[in-house]
Chain A
């Protein structure tokens, strides 16, 4: 009898030739694993698999450590001007955007204005990463070894020889082509009621026509606020090619001390950047 011969994944026809399939797991093109309420079926190229429609896999970057005691003087930055490139400190930034990367102080930016941190310029008690080995006495100044990429805290000992390092102050983010939402905040010490500083998001490029292109409206911190609140930068932009972006002064500042060393831990305490690929 046919009903003894046909076999549908273990379900045999009855005498009337009817086949009872009690679950979609018994079908040939399904692969169901631990199904949950509200799961849907999705074709993976071979089988229908169950997935949660709640799964939203955003690609994003988040720079915003809880380490808020790092003095801005450790960023190796130049004096603060109205076009200052802000650095945000982070030892554990998150990056889930494919082909995106961070540009740390000590790395070269796309416009060639990187800041080289020579071994001889290291600051005592600050954490660094060896960038170029040279012949510096890395193991005497705090590093476990002299390999490129080794993270160490400079112990203040005399540096001999040469070599370079990068810091954990992030001065830029390289994003691949795409559309993004960005939100960020920077802040410096503002000691008077009239202190303020405008800032925004800009492109950084070796190509002049693509350099310093505004990607956001201007945000501001400090104005007429004795204790100093900070505005948040919000932006929505599209990049047609891989591009470095930076948080840069927007040309207006007042009563802001120009010495980096006078700004304490304001940036590590309040600074953050969040970018989501749309």
Chain B
């Protein structure tokens, strides 16, 4: 009967029989929607790459022509969407694969075909395009070097060639003191989005253009939303 209807019925809180507290979320439980303050926040991790090994010689190289570093995604493992702790599942990926994860709001750049070698260009990442927001960028890309005095100074750049973080110093595994530094940056990405790359700022000594297995193992790139 219409006289049983009141305008109160046109409230979510009435329909769902909820007494919400401030900051409660409306969450489905499989049958109904209820107010729930403990909604699982989405993992802030946007992109994560762990070099787990594999590769040798010139099959795995980074670009030195424009000083932009690349990292290998061959055999990559697509992580599960970052809902709660699902990302930890990717750690169980086969050890022969590099572990790789990306969020749908992150696009990655492939390696330019001009890089050596010209094969497998689809399996390399050379930058990350992010949507609007504030992000923490971390990266460590090791490369093959010849002596204990070799190394490379790296930093995060945007594609307008602006350096966006302090310099860092990276050396090869087992040769130059095993100092594998991180390049770090905190960036505010504008509405239009922006692309960031890890660049080789300065070579110290001689750096070969290829990675070997140990170099790949020590490569990690992570992007986290702040």
Contact = CB atoms under 8 A, between A and B. Distances in A.
* Interface-central residue, A21, A29, A53, A229, by most chain B CB under 10 Å: A229
Q: How large is the interface on B (under 10, 10 to 19, 20 to 34, 35 or more residues)?
A: 35 or more
B169 A228 contact: yes
Interface of B: 1-3, 5, 7-13, 15, 20-27, 35, 39, 41-42, 44, 105, 136, 148-151, 163-171, 176-177, 179-182, 184-186, 204-205, 225-226
Contacts of B163: 66
A62 interface: yes
A48 B24 CA distance: 9
Q: How large is the interface on A (under 10, 10 to 19, 20 to 34, 35 or more residues)?
A: 35 or more
Contact of A56 (B5, B24, B41, B171): B41
Nearest to B41: A56
B12 A30 contact: yes
A177 interface: no
A54 interface: yes
Interface stretch (A3-11, A122-130, A138-146): A3-11
B155 to A, nearest CB: 8
Interface of A: 2-3, 5-6, 8-9, 13, 17, 19, 21, 24, 26-30, 40-45, 48, 53-54, 56, 58, 60, 62, 64-66, 68, 94, 183, 185, 187, 193, 221, 223-232, 269-272, 274, 276
Name A's interface SS.
loop
B204 A227 contact: yes
B171 to A, nearest CB: 5
Nearest to B138: A183
A229 B7 contact: no
B158 to A, nearest CB: 11
